[in-house]
Amino acid sequence: MKELENYTNKTFEDIKHIDENGVEFWYARESQVVLDYKEWRKFNNVIDKAKEACKNTGISELEHFVGADKMIGIGSGAKRKQVDYKLTRYACYLIAQNGAPRKKVISLAQTYFAVQTRKQEISEKEYCLLTEDEKRFYQRNLTRKGNYSLNQTAKNAGVKNFDKFHNCGYKGLYNGETADDIAKRKGLRYREDILDNMGSTELSANLFRISQTEEKLKKDNIKTEKEANKTHYNVGKIVRNAIKEAGGTMPEDLPTPKKSLKQLEKENKTSLKHQ
């Protein structure tokens, strides 16, 4: 099963194309082979179901299922039109969701494209369609990237003690709580990631804190660790006040999900092995 999973993931990356604008896409005909459909007729039925699912959610299928018909030779110089599509990652995700569940490769494709779809920039409409856990994965990926970028900017601003720097941001946003305080309040184990144990709303608040802190460090040309820490705290406080003024729930009062993202990933891998 592990070999099949590795094969599937690698193969989907192998058949990925990039257009002249740097946008990724997959050809339906190539995807048909990878998803183990022998007949185009049956695979086209799956595509039709995926297009219908796309329309039912208020998203234009024309943006995700782009016609790519071509003329192919059929002997003696004659040609005929072959129907094909350029598929976005979201289209591939919908196709996998509507594929034959008995096929192991379909189950793997569902996981592959669900995870990869979360990693890419998605529209507001598509985001609304995600489950709460999918939103968590998506927001967590953005905070991970955001923190990496923030660390680089903070380093250029003179920060050396990054634990203290990040705690300044948490203190501003969480009314004085450090990362350890947040972890204890959530009942987490030692060194368990607090961001992996946040809901999508709480992650969004932290993402805003992260992005705005980086922006201000650059804009104000901060060059000392003391000023960088102060900036992070102040931005955290500003985000907190904005939540309060909007009538939102304070981050420390938001519920902690029953399962961490690490646990969800582990359970997902376990379920795949038993399919």
Looking at 111, 129, 147, the residue that finishes a domain is 129
Q: Among 129, 163, 183, where does a domain finish? A: 129
pLDDT digits (tens, 9 = 90+) for 27-57: 999 999 888 899 999 999 999 999 988 887 7
Same domain, 100 and 148: no
Please tell me which of 57-61, 85-89, 233-237, 269-273 the model is most confident about, judged by mean pLDDT.
Answer: 233-237
Residues 122 and 154 in one domain: no
Average of pLDDT values for 180-189? 96
Closest CA to 51 of 107, 27, 59: 59
* pLDDT at residue number 48: 94
Percentage of the residues of the chain whose pLDDT score is greater than 90 = 48
Task: Kindly indicate the confidence band of residue 120, based on its pLDDT and cuts at 50, 70 and 90.
Answer: low
- Looking at the structure, do residues 21 and 91 belong to the same domain, yes or no? yes
Cβ distance 208 to 142 under 8 Å? Answer: no
For residue 168, the model assigns a pLDDT of: 98
pLDDT at 8 over 60: no
Task: Identify the domain boundary among 76, 96, 129.
Answer: 129
Give me the pLDDT at residue 115, please. Answer: 58
Residue of 93, 89, 83, 90 lying closest to 41 (CA atoms): 83
User: With contact defined as beta carbons under 8 Å apart, do 23 and 17 qualify?
Assistant: no
Say if CB 243 and CB 79 are below 8 A apart.
no
More confident residue, 197 or 3: 197
Q: Say whether both 118 and 140 belong to one domain.
A: no
- In angstroms, how far is the first alpha carbon of the chain from the final one? 8
As a whole number of angstroms, the distance between CA 245 and CA 249 comes to 10
Q: What is the pLDDT of residue 274?
A: 46
Q: Is residue 258 located within the same domain as residue 139?
A: yes
103 and 148 belong to one structural domain: no
Out of 43-52, 72-81, 133-142, which region has the weakest mean confidence (pLDDT)?
A: 72-81
The Cα–Cα gap between 200 and 206 comes to 10
Question: How high does pLDDT run on average in the chain?
Answer: 85
- Provide the pLDDT for residue 198: 97
Report, as an integer, the average pLDDT of 203-223: 92
Which one, of 134, 86, 140, 100, lies nearest residue 114 by Cα?
Answer: 134
Q: Are residues 78 and 191 in the same domain?
A: no
Does residue 143 sit in the same domain as residue 172?
A: yes
185 shares its domain with 84:
no
- For the cut 90, the answer to whether the pLDDT of residue 21 exceeds it is no
What does pTM read for this prediction? 0.57
Which range is most confident: 3-12, 83-92, 119-128, 163-172?
A: 163-172
Q: Into how many domains does the chain fold?
A: 2
Q: What is the pLDDT of residue 111?
A: 63
Tell me, yes or no, whether 109 and 145 share the same domain. no
Percent of the chain at pLDDT > 70 equals: 85
User: Do residues 75 and 160 both lie within one domain?
Assistant: no
Are 59 and 142 part of one and the same domain? no
Host domain of residue 261: 132-271
122 falls in which pLDDT band (50, 70, 90)?
Answer: low
